[in-house]
């Protein structure tokens, strides 16, 4: 049920951005890599800082429930949908540019896809981002959770981050140290800041050598991960002293299925949409996995995927 605060916010936002960028009852299955999720009450696309500031200010004024999303590659949205306003970045937030004075510095908008950023950097002979080339999602989302793969993390390449307060005020810059990066964590997770862009520091190398490393990692990912099925990547965080995938496999859960959702037989760390899965199917698999692994190992797995309007 939509609250009066959300109705008021939608009315305010409709006067701030063009109607084609404000959609009502937008199916979230169109905006998540799991390809599940019911409708959001409203879905607003902002294309520059002024846009975003105005929309966030309207949301703060009304007190309407809302959230910002990137490419939706780490989200699991309830089948009932989301009763608030989803804000997505586009336009200027997809920019990427090399610094003219220091060519090893690159400014990347929060909405730029990781795969696209990798192509840009490879073409300009800038190394250090290879680990991230196959990570689904946007730069903003990757910085938000300090995404990583194959021994690298975003904190290794992020020099600074431009952020805005969650109410649309006070845009400014934070250093990598200010971002308090740790395993799958950054200061942005506290919810009081919005990531606008990241400044990356890379190192020079031959484009052909970088491309070869990217191709090698892509081959490894394709061989070991179920890249041909919708998922949110690693479903659970790595627990202290172990690996989620190993624990799940040791519990005999590869191939465990509920409806259209399944623990991948290729990589136990992935819950995948085998076709027609609902969010409740995915949650049912996750709940069973957590229960069985805890019974077998005493370790309670924590979700890496973000649960929106639903819970385990």
Active site residue 304: yes
Tokens representing 238 are 């790595």
Element (H, E) at 152: strand 152-153
**Residues β-bridged to residue 88:** 45, 69
Structure tokens belonging to residue 13: 């936002």
User: To which residue do tokens 């997505």 refer?
Assistant: 88
Closest Cα to residue 60, out of 138, 8, 119, 121?
A: 8
Whether 80 is catalytic is no
- Can you name the residues that pair with 96 across neighbouring β-strands? 108
Half-sphere CA count of 52, side-chain side, radius 13 A: 27
Catalytic position from the list 35, 162, 184, 290: 184
> Which residue out of 33, 73, 234, 264 is catalytically annotated?
234
Burial (CB < 10 A; 0-12, 13-18, 19+), residue 270, is buried
Quick one: three-class SS letters along 103-130? CCEEEEECCCEHHHHHHHHHHCCEECCH
User: What ranges make up the beta strands (E) of 13-130?
Assistant: 22-27, 39-46, 66-69, 75-77, 82-89, 96-98, 105-109, 126-127
Dihedral class, residue 137 (left if φ above 0, else alpha if ψ from -120 to 50, else beta):
left
Q: Is 24 a catalytic residue?
A: no
CA distances from 253 to 91, 106, 230 (A): 43, 43, 19
| Residues with catalytic roles | 184, 234, 304
């Amino acid at each position: 049920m939509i609250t009066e605060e959300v109705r008021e916010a939608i009315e305010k936002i409709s006067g701030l951005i063009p109607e084609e960028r404000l959609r009502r009852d937008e199916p979230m299955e169109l905006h998540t890599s799991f390809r599940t999720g019911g409708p959001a009450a409203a879905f607003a696309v902002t294309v520059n800082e002024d846009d975003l500031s105005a929309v966030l200010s309207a949301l703060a004024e009304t007190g309407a429930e809302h959230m910002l999303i990137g490419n939706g590659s780490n989200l699991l949205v309830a089948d009932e949908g989301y009763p608030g306003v989803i804000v997505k970045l586009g336009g200027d937030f997809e920019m990427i540019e090399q610094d003219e004075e220091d060519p090893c510095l690159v400014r990347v908008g929060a909405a730029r896809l990781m795969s696209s950023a990798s192509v840009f950097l490879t073409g300009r002979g800038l190394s250090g981002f290879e680990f991230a080339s196959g990570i689904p999602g946007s730069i903003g989302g990757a910085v938000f959770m300090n995404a990583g793969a194959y021994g690298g993390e975003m904190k290794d390449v992020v020099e600074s981050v431009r952020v805005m307060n969650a109410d649309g005020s006070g845009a400014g810059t934070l250093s990598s140290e200010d971002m308090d990066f740790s395993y799958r964590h950054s200061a942005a997770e506290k919810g009081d800041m919005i990531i606008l862009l990241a400044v990356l520091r890379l190192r020079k190398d031959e484009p052909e050598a970088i491309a070869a490393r990217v191709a090698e990692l892509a081959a490894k990912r394709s061989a070991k991960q179920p890249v041909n099925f919708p998922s949110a990547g690693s479903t659970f965080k790595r627990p202290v002293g172990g690996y989620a995938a190993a624990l799940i496999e040791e519990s005999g859960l590869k191939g465990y299925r509920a409806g259209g959702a399944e623990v991948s037989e290729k990589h136990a760390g992935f819950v995948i949409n085998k076709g027609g899965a609902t969010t409740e199917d995915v949650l049912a698999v996750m709940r069973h996995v957590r229960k069985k692994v805890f019974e077998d190992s005493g370790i309670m797995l924590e979700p890496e995927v973000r649960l929106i309007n639903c819970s385990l």
